[in-house]
Every structure is written in structure tokens, then in C-alpha cells.
Copies of this chain bind each other. A is one copy, B any other.
Amino acid sequence: MASPNPLKKALKKEGLRYTQQRQSIWDEMCATDEHRDAEEIYLSLRNEGMNVSRATVYRTIDVLVKNNLVRKLELGDGRARYEHKMDSGHHDHLICVQCGKIEEFMDETIEERQDQIVDDLGFKLIRHIHQLFVICNDCQ
């Protein structure tokens, strides 16, 4: 059977070693569907008794992002958030400017228009950021 562990696969592809820390960080990131920052992930691991450093958290996240296991969200407040890409298709985000809650959305029409815009200019689309800053129901 093929390796059921996407982390191991990614590390092998990159020629990197499989370590306790990398597994723990990946596990921790998959543990919830929240959008946490590096510090929150670091603190969760410490709370669970893992002896891991901030540097390793950042280093591992970089590997995960590069290998498409994790998405980095830049909300413009100077702290990147991360979400694992295990069980969700592509989507973008709605962020409540009041309570900070993050929801997801996906619109085929917008995706198509994006491709069209880039195509028309003869550019090549690498990635996109689309964030709707809102006031959510609870905050109105």
C-alpha cells in the first residue's frame, strides 16, 4: 500500500528527514479546522508536553506550505494564520472585522473571471488572495 502519511511523502520529495517534531506539528495543525497562527500552534504543542521550539514550528510550516499541505492566510494584521488542506477544496475567506471569526466561501463565477482577467493580459496565475471583511450576523 502507498504511504498513507502525506507528511512523509512531502518530506521524502524534498529530501528531508522525518522527525518527531515535524509529525507533531503536522498532527497539531490537522487537529482543528480553526485558522491559528504560529504562536498558537506552538503553545498548543507545549501544553501537550511536546518539547518543540518556535523556530521549528516556523521551519516546519514552511515545508508544509511549500508542499501544499497547509495554506498560509495573510489577513493584513501582521500575523499569518494557517489552515491544513486535508479535507477541504479550494475556498476563500470572509473575516468579521468585529469578532475576528473566519468563514469560508467559494464562487465558481469569481474563479472563472479571475482566470479570464489573467488570461486576457497574457499573464500566468500563480495564486490569489480574496478576502471579504465583513460584520457578521452575531456582531450586527
List the interface of chain A (C-beta within 8 A of B).
72, 74, 76, 78, 94, 96-97, 103, 105, 107, 109-110, 113-114, 117-118, 121-137, 140
CB contact between A118 and one of B97, B113, B134 (< 8 Å): that residue: B134
| Contact between A125 and B131, CB atoms less than 8 A apart | no
| Contact between A132 and B128, CB atoms less than 8 A apart | yes
| Contact between A137 and B121, CB atoms less than 8 A apart | yes
What 5 A-B pairs come out closest when comparing CB atoms?
Answer: A74-B76, A123-B134, A124-B135, A129-B131, A126-B133
Q: How often does this chain occur in the complex, in copies? A: 2
| Contact between B126 and A129, CB atoms less than 8 A apart | no
Q: Can you list 13 A-B pairs, Cβ within 8 angstroms, ordered by A?
A: A94-B117, A96-B123, A109-B113, A118-B132, A118-B134, A121-B134, A122-B137, A123-B136, A123-B137, A124-B135, A124-B140, A128-B133, A129-B131
Q: Which residue of chain B is the closest to A93 with respect to CB atoms?
A: B129
Within 8 Å CB of A132, what residues of B?
A: 114, 117-118, 123, 125, 128
Query: How near does chain B come to A102, taking the closest CB pair, in angstroms?
Result: 12
Within 8 Å CB of A125, what residues of B?
A: 132-134
| Contact between A76 and B109, CB atoms less than 8 A apart | no
Q: Which residue of chain B is the closest to A103 with respect to CB atoms?
A: B121
